[in-house]
Amino acid sequence: QVRLVESGGGSVQAGGSLRLSCVASRYTYTVHHWGWFRQVPGKEREGIAAIYPPGATTYYSDSVEGRFTMSQDVAKNTLYLQMNDLKPEDTAVYYCAASDQAAHLAYGASWFLAPVRYRYWGQGTQVTVSS
């Protein structure tokens, strides 16, 4: 199965930036699209960014649109999530995920950001934003 390892989490003050990385290995050729999610204890996992490799189309949740940017280095099998203008409400455990489910860019953000689309998950990395 696909293996995902995140890094780059940490603590930052509000208004600061962090860049998360996610290295993928094993059977990555089976992956159709990739995503970043976050979860706060007691709440459901939230899809915040996704990328559909044909054309590198990206999708974002309203909560991070304009502040976060997802990108992919195909040669390095690495995903990135650049997070700018961080807010205390961005505090969460962040996960990258991979989906082997067939997709089409016309499906839209709500489809690509649904956790149910994703089979493979990393272990998560904590991001803490203080006010």
Mean pLDDT by 10 residues, the chain (131 residues): 96 98 92 96 97 90 98 94 98 97 88 96 98 94
Residue 106 confidence (pLDDT): 83
Query: Which residue in the block uniquely carries the two structure tokens 């649904």?
Result: 114
Residue 103 confidence (pLDDT): 86
Residue 22: CB atoms within 10 Å:
26
d(CA 42, CA 52): 29
Residue 105 confidence (pLDDT): 78
Determine contact, residues 122/97, Cβ cutoff 8 Å. Answer: yes
Residue 104 confidence (pLDDT): 84
Residue 21 confidence (pLDDT): 98
Residue 56 confidence (pLDDT): 86
Residue 91 confidence (pLDDT): 98
Query: Which residue in the block uniquely carries the two structure tokens 């997070």?
Result: 83
